[in-house]
Amino acid sequence: MTAYGIPYDHVYIKVDMSEYGKTMIFQASKTIVNLMSQEVFLAANIVYEEYELDIDDARRMEFMDEMLNMVGDPYSLLEVLGIAWMKLCSFFGKKVDNPFEEGTSQWVCSELAAYIAQKYCNVVLPKNYQEMDPESMRNTLKARAA
């Protein structure tokens, strides 16, 4: 179990780059937003579940451009603490906003995935992308796939 009480603690975006013969992983992890080959990712991670989302061809170049511009953006440890604070407060029936939201200048994994899914794949999120944690991201995509 992880800090979220679920059997995983990470969300990523798998990007088909078949024009280069590659599948890449786009994620916010460790201290930075990064892009790595699927092979390197799988050597260090266990995949719990995956959900497929489509980006139409008209928006693919826009997504690729934004993705490449985001590589190197910092990871936000404060936002992780803010998500934990929101979860703790919800346990006691209080809804609070993340006190450490960084906008689009710093990222956590679920926030990055939610941002991309909403902007490029027309995924309707149950709350602001900056408030999404791995569990709410999974629940959103699982409901969408049903």
27-76 pLDDT, tens digit per residue, is 999 889 999 999 999 999 999 999 999 999 889 999 999 999 999 998 87
- Average pLDDT (86-99) is 78
> What pLDDT does residue 36 have?
97
The pLDDT tens digits for 115-145 are: 999 999 999 999 989 888 888 999 999 999 8
pLDDT at 1 over 50: no
pLDDT at 103 over 90: no
Q: CA–CA distance from 64 to each of 35, 49, 135 (Å)?
A: 11, 24, 26
**Cα gap 21→51, rounded to integer Å:** 21
Q: Which of 146, 141, 130 is nearest to 48 (CA)?
A: 141
Q: Report the distance separating Cα 6 and Cα 3, nearest Å.
A: 8
pTM here is 0.83
Could you list the beta-strand ranges (E) of the chain: 13-17, 22-29, 32-37
Q: Which residues contact 101 (CB under 8 A, 6 or more apart)?
A: 79, 82, 130
Q: pLDDT value at position 60?
A: 94
